[in-house]
């Protein structure tokens, strides 16, 4: 077994420790094995005394918790205090091989940590260890629900007496750390809140609100990409979103979605990319300046198939719908499998998962893109939570055509990213769609209908004129402008105009 022989550190890969401390868990493994990996948002270390300290980047443990011996001891420390990091564990297993784990399970055949690590080794590497005849102990969770959110319907793996509660497959399985913010959202139960919001709403009113929100979502999705679609194109994409969840996800369905988005494909290859890809700009000399490096073209068949399998696996295992939607949608946009249309398809996948899982009432399609558009800064920060650190581990060179060529193996960076910030952001968006967009539109339409009914008692007007009157009063803070009285409504008496203004105030007081 490899002995640890390090010293207290003040700095680790550009991260300053709050106090000098010994690297422990994943930080030690990354350092000792020289791993080229994305660092967890928080790393762990052990002080030389009984100091306990926490910062945005570090958690410092007291000296008695310091692992004293092998890579295996640091993996146990990591599982105990940091949770499962599939990306780092796979790189560790590839570096050290099976020997240390085999020795550990032979020496401790009933250890829950040893059995979990042996299961994860086989799951990640597709290589078999030898399970000792004396292996025993109660079943343990592969993912500790105290640290990370896990699937509700695990598979019992009798070979290691482990409950496989991972939400995905070895091909794609982002994980989400348990946070106070996410726990509050689960307690809030947004799905039930949406149901309550529409409970007493007349069906016709709900239908009109849903149609407006759907079209608004389509327009916002294009606007996020800085495009101004024609009315017909926005309506066509709204129709596609409206059918989300009607068919099972597949590579063919994704390609059809892309085809529905691209009006002119003369300069865009439909289907999976055959070259490298990046998101960013070009220098004045035509060289790429990437903000994000897309997955290698030769990895796309495997990754996109794994995304599809993840959606099915997470549903069968009853993994939370919002966590699934966040991992799937953001995973898709990081892979960036197509030359064009990735952003809108990424947001379509959120609709797909929520519709498949019936997270919202049947008649309601949440305007996710509207909520994203309202906070593009937060959206970009969430995207950068993976794309920025990925730039430091992807080795690439520019091509003569102004593209990028990736030189190292990168597929696991797209499979096993930390989806915690994406889940928190998506919950924020869903909360806004219910408590603002949906409720505002229902209140608006209800007020508009009340105004129409009251207006007909003053003067019986055609629907078109009533709509014009309502919207012009809305634009002018409930008052007739001189232009309105002189042009569109010059036939109104002053007393009638005053009645309409009073009616508008009464019917729109809740807006």
Q: Is the confidence at residue 239, as pLDDT, over 50?
A: yes
Work out the average pLDDT over 327-349: 95
pLDDT digits (tens, 9 = 90+) for 412-471: 999 999 999 999 999 999 999 999 999 999 999 999 999 999 999 999 889 899 999 999
Measured between alpha carbons, how far is 225 from 227 in angstroms, rounded to an integer?
A: 6
The pLDDT value recorded for residue 232 is 86
User: Which tokens hold the place of 97?
Assistant: 């091989």
Measured between alpha carbons, how far is 211 from 334 in angstroms, rounded to an integer?
A: 30
pLDDT digits (tens, 9 = 90+) for 131-141: 999 999 999 99
Q: Which of 351-355, 369-373, 505-509 has the lowest mean pLDDT?
A: 505-509
The pLDDT value recorded for residue 136 is 94
Please provide residue 281's backbone torsions phi and psi, each rounded to the nearest 5 degrees: -125, 180
Q: Is 286 helix (H, G, I), strand (E, B) or coil?
A: coil
Q: Is the confidence at residue 5, as pLDDT, over 60?
A: no
Q: Which residue has the higher pLDDT, 268 or 50?
A: 50
Work out the average pLDDT over 376-400: 96
Q: Is the confidence at residue 256, as pLDDT, over 90?
A: no
Whether the Cβ atoms of residue 257 and residue 345 lie closer than 8 Å to each other? yes
Work out the average pLDDT over 402-418: 97
Q: Is 397 helix (H, G, I), strand (E, B) or coil?
A: strand
Dihedral sign of CA atoms 54, 58, 59, 60 in order: negative
Please provide residue 155's backbone torsions phi and psi, each rounded to the nearest 5 degrees: -100, 130
Q: Could you give the percent of the chain with pLDDT greater than 90? A: 82
Which residues does 28 contact at the CB level (< 8 Å), separation at least 6?
Answer: 4, 6, 22, 67, 74
Q: Is 11 helix (H, G, I), strand (E, B) or coil?
A: strand
The pLDDT value recorded for residue 142 is 98
Tally of CA atoms within 13 A in the half-sphere of 348 that contains its CB: 28
The pLDDT value recorded for residue 68 is 79
Q: Which of 16-25, 279-288, 348-357 has the lowest mean pLDDT?
A: 279-288
Place of tokens 């979502």: 217
User: Which tokens hold the place of 341?
Assistant: 């249309």
* β-pair partners for 281: 289
Measured between alpha carbons, how far is 18 from 167 in angstroms, rounded to an integer?
A: 35
Work out the average pLDDT over 7-33: 95
Q: Which residue has the higher pLDDT, 309 or 493?
A: 309
Given its phi and psi angles, is residue 3 left (phi above 0), alpha (psi -120 to 50 degrees) or beta? beta
According to DSSP, the β-strands at 155-157 and 162-164 are: antiparallel
Q: Is the confidence at residue 510, as pLDDT, over 90?
A: no
Which residues does 502 contact at the CB level (< 8 Å), separation at least 6?
Answer: none
Q: Which of 19-28, 94-103, 128-137, 220-229 has the lowest mean pLDDT?
A: 220-229
Domain ranges of the chain: 9-96, 190-439, 459-507
pLDDT level of residue 2 (50, 70, 90 thresholds): very low
Q: Which long-range contacts (CB under 8 A, 24 or more apart) does 444-452 make?
A: 444/511, 445/205, 445/208, 445/209, 445/212, 446/205, 447/507, 447/508, 447/510, 447/511, 448/507, 449/205, 450/507, 451/503, 451/504, 451/507, 451/508
Measured between alpha carbons, how far is 461 from 442 in angstroms, rounded to an integer?
A: 24
Angstrom distances, CA of residue 106 to CA of 71, 115, 119, 122, 462: 16, 10, 14, 16, 85
User: Which tokens hold the place of 48?
Assistant: 């030389």
Residues listed for the chain: 511
Q: Could you give the percent of the chain with pLDDT greater than 70? A: 99
pLDDT level of residue 485 (50, 70, 90 thresholds): confident
Q: Where are the alpha helices (DSSP H) in 1-127?
A: 26-33, 71-81, 86-96, 99-107, 112-125
Taking 3-state DSSP, the helix, strand and coil percentages for the chain, each rounded to the nearest 5, stand at 50, 10, 35
Measured between alpha carbons, how far is 51 from 131 in angstroms, rounded to an integer?
A: 39
Measured between alpha carbons, how far is 51 from 19 in angstroms, rounded to an integer?
A: 9
pLDDT digits (tens, 9 = 90+) for 94-136: 999 999 999 999 999 999 999 999 999 999 999 999 999 999 9
Q: Is the confidence at residue 277, as pLDDT, over 90?
A: yes
Q: Where are the alpha helices (DSSP H) in 283-419?
A: 300-316, 321-335, 342-356, 368-373, 376-391, 411-415
Q: Is 155 helix (H, G, I), strand (E, B) or coil?
A: strand
Element (H, E) at 194: helix 190-198
Whether the Cβ atoms of residue 357 and residue 315 lie closer than 8 Å to each other? yes
**How many other β-carbons are positioned within 10 Å of the β-carbon of residue 63?**
13
Q: Is the confidence at residue 201, as pLDDT, over 80?
A: yes
Q: Is the confidence at residue 60, as pLDDT, over 90?
A: yes
Exposed, middle or buried, 316 (CB in 10 Å: 0-12/13-18/19+)?
A: exposed
The pLDDT value recorded for residue 3 is 41
CATH number of 190-439: 1.10.3290.10
Q: What is the CA radius of gyration of the chain?
A: 28
Dihedral sign of CA atoms 372, 375, 378, 384 in order: positive
Q: Is the confidence at residue 4, as pLDDT, over 60?
A: no
pLDDT level of residue 323 (50, 70, 90 thresholds): very high
Q: Is the confidence at residue 269, as pLDDT, over 90?
A: no
pLDDT digits (tens, 9 = 90+) for 291-300: 999 999 999 9
Place of tokens 């219910």: 434
Query: CA torsion 18→23→24→25, rounded to 10°?
Result: 100
């Amino acid at each position: 077994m490899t002995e640890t022989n390090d010293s207290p550190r003040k700095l680790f890969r550009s991260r300053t420790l709050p106090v000098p401390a010994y690297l422990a868990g994943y930080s030690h493994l990354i350092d000792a094995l020289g791993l080229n990996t994305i660092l967890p948002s928080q790393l762990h270390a052990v002080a030389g005394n009984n100091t306990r300290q926490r910062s945005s980047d570090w958690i410092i443990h007291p000296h008695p918790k310091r692992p004293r011996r092998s890579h295996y001891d640091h993996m146990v420390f990591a599982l105990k205090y940091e949770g499962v990091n599939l990306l780092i564990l796979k790189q560790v297993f590839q570096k050290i091989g099976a020997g240390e784990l085999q020795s550990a399970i032979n020496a401790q055949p009933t250890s829950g940590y040893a059995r979990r690590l042996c299961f994860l080794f086989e799951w990640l590497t597709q290589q078999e260890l030898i399970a000792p005849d004396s292996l025993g102990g109660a079943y343990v969770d592969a993912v500790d629900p105290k640290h990370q959110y896990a699937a509700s319907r695990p598979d019992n793996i009798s070979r290691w007496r482990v409950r496989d509660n991972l939400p995905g497959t070895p091909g794609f399985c982002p994980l989400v750390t348990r946070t106070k913010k996410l726990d509050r959202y689960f307690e809030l139960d947004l799905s039930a809140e949406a149901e309550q919001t529409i409970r007493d709403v007349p069906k016709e009113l709900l239908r009109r609100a849903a149609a407006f929100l759907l079209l608004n979502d389509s327009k916002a999705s294009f606007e996020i990409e800085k495009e101004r679609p024609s009315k017909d194109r926005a309506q066509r994409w709204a129709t596609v979103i409206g059918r989300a969840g009607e068919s099972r996800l597949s590579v063919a369905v994704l390609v059809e979605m892309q085809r529905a988005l691209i009006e002119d494909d003369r300069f865009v290859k439909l289907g999976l990319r055959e070259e490298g890809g990046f998101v960013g700009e070009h220098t004045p000399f035509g060289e790429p300046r990437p903000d994000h490096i897309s997955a290698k073209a030769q990895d796309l068949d495997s990754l996109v198939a794994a995304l599809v399998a993840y959606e099915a696996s997470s549903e069968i295992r009853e993994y939370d719908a919002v966590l699934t939607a966040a991992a799937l949608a953001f995973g898709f946009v990081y892979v960036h499998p197509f030359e064009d249309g990735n952003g809108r398809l990424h947001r379509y996948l959120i609709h797909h998962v929520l519709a498949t899982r019936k997270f919202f009432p049947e008649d309601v399609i949440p305007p996710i893109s509207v909520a994203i558009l309202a906070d593009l800064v937060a959206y970009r920060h969430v995207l950068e939570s993976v794309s920025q650190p990925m730039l430091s581990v992807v080795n690439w060179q520019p091509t003569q055509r102004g593209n990028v060529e990736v030189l190292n193996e990168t597929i696991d960076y797209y499979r096993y990213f930390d989806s915690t910030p994406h889940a928190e952001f998506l919950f924020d968006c869903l909360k806004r769609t219910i408590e603002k967009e949906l409720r505002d539109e229902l209140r608006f339409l209800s007020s508009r209908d009340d105004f129409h009914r009251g207006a007909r008692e003053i003067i019986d007007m055609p629907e078109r004129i009533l709509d014009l009157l309502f919207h012009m009063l809305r634009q002018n803070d409930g008052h007739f402008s001189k232009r309105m009285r002189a042009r569109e409504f010059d036939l109104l008496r002053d007393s009638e105009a005053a009645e309409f203004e009073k009616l508008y105030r009464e019917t729109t007081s809740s807006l």
